Amino acid sequence: MNATERIAEHRWWHTIEVAPGIVTPGGWDLRPTSAQLPWPDVSGKRCLDVGTMDGFWAFELERRGAAEVVATDIGPAHSDVPARRTAQGPAEPRAKPCFALAAELLGSNAEYRERNVYDLNPEADGEFDVVVMGYVLQMVRDPLRALAAIRSVCRGHLLLVDTVSLPLSLLPAPLARLDARGGALEWFVFNRRGLVQAVGHAGFEVEETTGILRDRPGPSAADTWRHRLGILGRSCAIRAGSGNI
């Protein structure tokens, strides 16, 4: 069975070029987003990708020269899925099989660990020079606890990318909205100012914040237009230091 046939056996979340001309059919192509981010230097560094799913950010860290990459994601049973989501049927496809296949095809050395973000700790996981958390914070029930856990294992930089809410009127948007997008997986969506404050409360020093990032393609045409109109929100990125650099 060739690579294309093996890829077709899985349900993909990310678009990943695993070989020249061979791309996984995921609905989220983060390559244009990655090019806009305020990346810290990752060359020769020990790096962590939190909420890796198919592994896009983990493999991007390797592509940028990381010496070691650990990629974490939740297992099938975890506490942060809203009750209404579990009532709707099966959850999103699990990360590990897609990650493993993409890593094999890429010749990646990234290590996959089944780990809830809340459970990160320096005794079990060591410390990391760079931590990337891409579009995950909105999916955790307790975002401040998640950021505090990340801070406990970060000795260098955090690169956080997440959806941000925009005002739908002339009134300022609140710092965070619960169920802001009416989705089945999201909890809190911050606006840009709220996201900066959350990162600061976790003990990081914000160094750079992007403007609103170019629209990400949605899994359907309707989702794409909702993003463009601001109904599903837009996104921004924050690079923050741990204070130990």
State how far Cα 137 lies from the chain centre: 7
Q: Are 241 and 64 in contact (CB under 8 A)?
A: no
Q: Are 166 and 173 in contact (CB under 8 A)?
A: yes
- Look at residue 52 in the predicted model and tell me its pLDDT: 96
Q: Kindly state the percentage of the chain with pLDDT values over 70.
A: 77
- Look at residue 77 in the predicted model and tell me its pLDDT: 58
Dihedral, CA of residue 176, residue 181, residue 186 and residue 192, to nearest 10: -40
Q: Which of 145, 138, 70 is nearest to 108 (CA)?
A: 70
* Per-residue pLDDT tens over the stretch 15-74: 999 999 999 999 889 999 999 999 999 999 999 999 999 999 999 999 999 999 999 998
Domain range 41-241, its CATH number among 3.40.50.150, 3.40.630.40, 3.30.70.270, 3.40.50.360 = 3.40.50.150
- Look at residue 104 in the predicted model and tell me its pLDDT: 96
Number of CB atoms found within 10 A of residue 52's CB = 28
Segments in the chain below pLDDT 50:
87-91, 93, 227-231
